[in-house]
Amino acid sequence: MKLMKLIILLLTVAILNACETSQTTSTEPPISSPAGETEFKEVLPCLGLKLVADTQTSPDKVIFSVVTKNLCDERLEYFLGYEPPHEVIVMRGDIEVWRFTRNDPVADPLADKSYEPGEGESFDAEWRFVNTEGDSVLAGDYEVKGLLISASLNDNGGEPVETPSLRIKIGK
């Protein structure tokens, strides 16, 4: 009987030790989607916008870039009226999980922008796989969209313009 209790005790210790080791030595990155990007979408006359996700730089974060581009053959001029001029929103279903400006305040200056044909600019946002409260997110599929805030061109009234959505997968 003592031998049986000793075997059960040793097996229990071995199982607990194995579980602890597997949790602390995992080097698998939390994101399983490869780097990705959307196509440019003409959001205002001549102004293209797309979203790029860099998942390769670090296993503990993804860098989203809201990218602008002059899609026309002549110079493009517009005004960005907010600090920062961009927003990135991570959604899971209909629930907003994370928003760049809520978690990472930045002080980009307000600016008049002008791009020659084919030129553009990139505005970055870093997400460390946490929700708005700072808790780690669950594994699963997420939808990400980028916004250029208050891009005033002609008479659009400075309304935000949105990139096409990008899907990413967290975990296996």
Q: pLDDT tens for residues 84-111?
A: 778 999 999 999 999 998 655 455 556 7
Residue 115 in this model has a pLDDT that exceeds 60:
yes
Q: What is the pTM of this model?
A: 0.73
Burial letters for 83-108: b for 16+ Cβ neighbours within 10 Å, e otherwise?
ebbbbbbbebeeeebbbbbebeeeee
CATH topology of domain 29-170: Immunoglobulin-like (2.60.40)
Contact predicate 160/150, CB 8 Å: yes
Can you tell me the mean pLDDT for 114-141?
92
Residue 24 in this model has a pLDDT that exceeds 90:
no
| DSSP code at position 64 | E
Local structure of 143: helix, strand or coil = strand
Higher pLDDT, 76 or 159: 76
Local structure of 3: helix, strand or coil = helix
Sequence-distant (6+) residues with CB within 8 A of 55 are: 29, 31, 33, 34, 35, 36, 62, 168
Residue 73 in this model has a pLDDT that exceeds 60:
yes
Residue 6 in this model has a pLDDT that exceeds 60:
no
Q: Where are the domains of the chain?
A: 29-170
Q: Which residue has the tokens 């998942």?
A: 55
**Average pLDDT of the residues of the chain:** 77
Confidence of residue 56 (pLDDT cuts 50, 70, 90): confident
How would you write 4-35 as a 3-class SS string? Answer: HHHHHHHHHHHHHHHHHHHHHCCCCCCECCCC
Q: Which residue has the tokens 């670090």?
A: 58
Residues paired with residue 32 on neighbouring β-strands, in sequence order: none
